[in-house]
Structure 1
């Protein structure tokens, strides 16, 4: 039996006891604290909760200490939650207030991090109002009510109950915040003069006792899709925040509001308010019977609203398009001072989430980008702008080049190396989206989710032009930023991705590395870059060319075939054959070099042997480390065959290329 099982068994024995050994209790408690970061199984949590509420020897400090250790591995069962809730409402008159407050805080943590079924706790919704009458429990009870409340829970009776408590104890931030929530759901039930209260200020001292709950949430989110769909979503999370407003102020992403005219009795059909749903799963069930809020932009506030927009009808998506363009134009083109930097950043972030959820760009966002890029300084909101550019929509390559790519090239040539790498990475993702999603939809004749839009651009011609644009940027970047391994890494990522997707999708395209990338890899001081270039050259020879030849496209790609042969000739003569300058006319990089230049190299080294495996500056550090680690190798001289053995174990890409071409 390990230490954890021993500790759990000890607490199980405390059930019904009135005394306990302080030293033994502390030892077992420390053992549980050490295991809390991994979480406990459902059975272990049930056992510990049962022991916690049954032991009569636990003062408030010990009760709280033990409860802090009870962290689920993923979810807490209904039984454990019900047992703790039943104990709270059975003994809330007699149990220590500190213990009750700890139990409520623990329950708040479960709900906020989605570690239990909220409906089980909601079954006790009415009972939490009883705890409001205890001033020391009022804040925690208010927070629970705030988390559990749905529009159908709001009634005049409950508003009156809270107003009476305010008369008894005076106005407090937590009760006022609860009234604000009620007012957002049913304004007709709440007095008009309810001041705005910051939600985080009202409950800042509640629900912070379990630092390991976030780890449990991460474990839960890494599980099945069903568990992810059951995760709780929050509406109007900024409700109650005090903001400085002008009379014409419009939030970038406004709160969810409903405005009704006339009596509810005369509505043709009862629809569900979005505010009633706390999980994506429950919302999806009633997708076709939802009452959409007045401002469609308010649905951008979380993943559930984004789901509604993605699968909404054309009317809703058209409304969103109009409001979205109007908001973006005011905030970024007109630079309306009513929008703070944070609000601008937030609306871009939510648009990115919507486009990635739909796997599709939004036309009005692309129009906004076309107008914004000429004005953009390249610094503000860079990450969000680059994410939006990955989903740009266009009708032809000419249009794309004129309104987007031309501005990207200007930004690329005037930016730092870090921004250049970000631009290549963004274009990498853009091309990947075109191949994996747009071409797939065109082949299957599938429309996008948003407004059922279909791409009209020519597939292969447009794709080849975009790839050529990215290739030219890589060449220009490597020419300007000589010796930059960051840019070389991004360039290699692009050509590796293109080669892989062309093969997987059987595209009649051959995206070959330009000389700037190939020879930066050959002359690199990093063996990793050398190996990656060798790997791509081998794929060209063994996969790309045979695939295109099988499609009957050999004559179309004769230029690529000849260039591939030149690349391999240089690599073989430099790395293996030790005759790169003797056979320079058969290759590319040394071709046409005057003999006088070659002779000048003899002052420093033997030219033909400078780039061989045994002398290559990318591999020499590994030889040095091996000699340093093994005394028997310190005076040994490594020849080409020895380096081949090293490459076969550590850099198989280099080894495979040499073996393949030698045969």
Structure 2
């Protein structure tokens, strides 16, 4: 039999060939259908099917054709949407279900229902399946698709769908068919909405609930959708948290945080389960009835919005009572070492999600943490515990530290240096939240808020210094990175009259600057450069807002870092101006003599400059080569005859190079060697040094 060409056809051509094959009897075809199907499925697996291609394949699978069952089943199993699934495709699939001469085979219909179950959360019009609910429900008498159909209906059922006649039909089916698992699962969903009408127990098993798509399918569709979202703005989530959260059948039967359900509802009730979009929520907000399990707000974003927008003393009391009872039981169980780790983890995760939404911690949670932290082991649920603590309200840092934070520090310290970065990262989150809280206050000059921020920074500075000095030299890179992350946040958080400029201790900055890493050095320079920019942008005169000692400390650090890298005066001390990184003068003299004894061109003054700095020398050398090659190409020099520089680059070596037939490059100035190196390093991730110099050096200040 002739086969398709060796070159696989494009998707569009393959779809055309498939349409022709579907209308042609198998014995009259000139192409092999399996090869065409393979092309389509391979494209779907790698890139997903756009809406037009998806529509083409669905239309073929939704009618009776000359395609064999294997090919159709393979196509349906590989229907990976690259974008949101249009509503008309869903209508086409539902229209293919049922009895009829032109309908696809029962096996194909079952595959299509399973596909609807798999994609029901990524449909473009979230209401399309809801509008087709009656059509789907009426097909429950079809044995071939009943199991898959029950699974689909269990996922899309809302209170508005639960009608008396449907309850009656389900009960009659259940009595006639016995304990059919999928049917019992759907009946259980109905009973959740009307427990007083559907009496008795509904037996459920694992097969009662819709199985999740296999892991390969889920992984693939997620990757395809994410890739499509990067290039298609229409792929943004349209639900935006305006539907109640359903966690699916795999959740534990003893899960502590329930899902949203409104019990004792009537035909005229307006419930959260019936909300599908923001317009619906806004229109019905004043008529919504609170659900039976208000504590579901810990994980359900729609219920969180409802509680925040419709405050009620009764609702607050119900939530407070549940939290108090639940947390007290958890604390007692932990104290007796009889607690359920998964149970506690779910509660803490829920509390953290609620805190992240409200940007505050519930008072009941504060009381729980006060008692729980002293017995916490510092390892279990560490992210949730520290995440909650980052939202702790602070009126006095000293009081909060003694009551809560000291216990957390001791618990983490018990796990050694590996826990230190996480501790500093926690304080970064805590500081960020305090900055946000202070910025939102009406009192722009709140001395108490400023005191809290300063005390917090002072504690982190003391803690960081202690942790650094406890580690071996040039170790703990993750800790150093976390510390620098805190000060990067601190240096860029100031806001005139609202958030004060708070300097780190300069001895800590000098200690960090001596770490053997070009990245760390760049970040240190970037931090000090940010402080320089902050003071430059502050209302003048600065001395009316900050003591002279503050600006003097920063100026001293600016000169030390400037002297070290830019003007070859490293470690030099000037009275009232710079401290030379606290290097003792006698040590500096000894180092100078030692270097001179090795080579007369060696000097302690230049040992830390751009060309000679141990952490930047290789980068500076590579930058020079790039500059040299650029000028040779631009000026049209002969590469075989021109004199090359052998480094390291100095002002004198550039003069010599120029006289002996090399390229002509200045040492200083906006177009000189040093600025080129700054830009070259910045392009490769070391932008902090450039930021510092362009904020400090007079010739460069204010330039990009």
- Per the normalisation by structure 2, the TM-score is 0.79
1:488-508 Cα shifts (integer Å, max 9, x gaps): 2222222222222214x6546
- Residues 64 and 103 of structure 2 are in contact (CA less than 8 Å); yes or no, is this contact kept in structure 1? no
| Residues in 2 aligned to 1:634 and 1:252: alpha-carbon distance in whole angstroms | 73
1:76-126 Cα shifts (integer Å, max 9, x gaps): 222221122112235499632221111111111121x33243432233323
* 2:676 paired with 1:645: yes
* 2:484 paired with 1:488: no
| Residues in 1 aligned to 2:587 and 2:507: alpha-carbon distance in whole angstroms | 25
- Return closer, same or farther for 1:551/1:370 CA change in 2, 3 Å cut-off: farther
| Residues in 2 aligned to 1:53 and 1:257: alpha-carbon distance in whole angstroms | 36
- Return closer, same or farther for 1:338/1:101 CA change in 2, 3 Å cut-off: farther
1:52-79 Cα shifts (integer Å, max 9, x gaps): 3346122222112222343333222222
Please state how far the C-alpha of 1:553 moved relative to its aligned partner. 3.6
Please state how far the C-alpha of 1:570 moved relative to its aligned partner. 2.1
- Residues 509 and 524 of structure 2 are in contact (CA less than 8 Å); yes or no, is this contact kept in structure 1? yes
- Residues 180 and 239 of structure 1 are in contact (CA less than 8 Å); yes or no, is this contact kept in structure 2? no
1:2-13 residue pairs with structure 2 within 5 A?
3-13=10-20
- In the alignment, what sits opposite 2:386? 386
- Return closer, same or farther for 1:328/1:70 CA change in 2, 3 Å cut-off: same
1:511 is aligned, of 494, 502, 512, to: 502
- In the alignment, what sits opposite 1:227? 238
- Return closer, same or farther for 1:197/1:191 CA change in 2, 3 Å cut-off: farther
| Residues in 1 aligned to 2:102 and 2:390: alpha-carbon distance in whole angstroms | 59
- Return closer, same or farther for 1:232/1:45 CA change in 2, 3 Å cut-off: farther
Please state how far the C-alpha of 1:148 moved relative to its aligned partner. 2.1
Please state how far the C-alpha of 1:581 moved relative to its aligned partner. 4.6
- In the alignment, what sits opposite 1:654? 689
- In the alignment, what sits opposite 1:247? none
Please state how far the C-alpha of 1:345 moved relative to its aligned partner. 1.0
- In the alignment, what sits opposite 2:526? 535
2:301 is aligned, of 280, 300, 303, to: 303
Please state how far the C-alpha of 1:383 moved relative to its aligned partner. 0.3
- In the alignment, what sits opposite 1:612? 609
SS of aligned partner of 2:489:
helix
Please state how far the C-alpha of 1:352 moved relative to its aligned partner. 1.5
Please state how far the C-alpha of 1:141 moved relative to its aligned partner. 0.9
- Residues 209 and 249 of structure 2 are in contact (CA less than 8 Å); yes or no, is this contact kept in structure 1? no
Gaps of 5+ in 2: 1-7, 630-638, 651-666, 668-672, 700-704
- In the alignment, what sits opposite 2:442? 443
1:253 is aligned, of 250, 253, 257, to: 257
- Return closer, same or farther for 1:242/1:389 CA change in 2, 3 Å cut-off: closer
Please state how far the C-alpha of 1:206 moved relative to its aligned partner. 6.7
1:207-265 Cα shifts (integer Å, max 9, x gaps): 8895444346555697587713377544474599555xxxxxxx5313445565xx969
Please state how far the C-alpha of 1:188 moved relative to its aligned partner. 2.8
Deviates more, 1:623-632 or 1:282-291: 623-632
| Greater relative CO, 1 or 2 (CA 8 Å, sep 6+) | 1
- In the alignment, what sits opposite 2:317? 318
- Return closer, same or farther for 1:442/1:635 CA change in 2, 3 Å cut-off: closer
Please state how far the C-alpha of 1:142 moved relative to its aligned partner. 0.8
- In the alignment, what sits opposite 1:144? 152
1:189-208 residue pairs with structure 2 within 5 A?
189-198=197-206, 202-204=209-211
Please state how far the C-alpha of 1:147 moved relative to its aligned partner. 1.4
1:156-195 residue pairs with structure 2 within 5 A?
157-166=165-174, 169-195=177-203
Deviates more, 1:153-162 or 1:608-617: 153-162
* 2:89 paired with 1:80: yes
2:556 is aligned, of 541, 566, 572, to: 566
1:279-318 Cα shifts (integer Å, max 9, x gaps): 5654454222222233421333422223223333132133
| Residues in 2 aligned to 1:493 and 1:601: alpha-carbon distance in whole angstroms | 34
Whichever of the two has the greater Rg, that structure is: 2
- Residues 428 and 486 of structure 2 are in contact (CA less than 8 Å); yes or no, is this contact kept in structure 1? yes
- In the alignment, what sits opposite 1:50? 59
Please state how far the C-alpha of 1:388 moved relative to its aligned partner. 0.8
Please state how far the C-alpha of 1:638 moved relative to its aligned partner. 1.9
- In the alignment, what sits opposite 1:422? 422
SS of aligned partner of 2:143:
coil
Please state how far the C-alpha of 1:563 moved relative to its aligned partner. 1.5
- Residues 421 and 478 of structure 2 are in contact (CA less than 8 Å); yes or no, is this contact kept in structure 1? yes
SS of aligned partner of 2:429:
helix
* 2:91 paired with 1:59: no
| Residues in 1 aligned to 2:645 and 2:101: alpha-carbon distance in whole angstroms | 81
Please state how far the C-alpha of 1:331 moved relative to its aligned partner. 1.0
- Residues 17 and 55 of structure 1 are in contact (CA less than 8 Å); yes or no, is this contact kept in structure 2? no
| Residues in 1 aligned to 2:212 and 2:401: alpha-carbon distance in whole angstroms | 54
Gaps of 5+ in 1: 244-250, 446-455
- In the alignment, what sits opposite 1:448? none
* 2:463 paired with 1:465: no
1:347-386 residue pairs with structure 2 within 5 A?
347-386=347-386
| Residues in 1 aligned to 2:401 and 2:25: alpha-carbon distance in whole angstroms | 79
- Residues 389 and 430 of structure 1 are in contact (CA less than 8 Å); yes or no, is this contact kept in structure 2? yes
SS of aligned partner of 2:441:
helix
1:402-447 Cα shifts (integer Å, max 9, x gaps): 32333344456555334222222222122222223x22431289xx
Please state how far the C-alpha of 1:515 moved relative to its aligned partner. 2.6
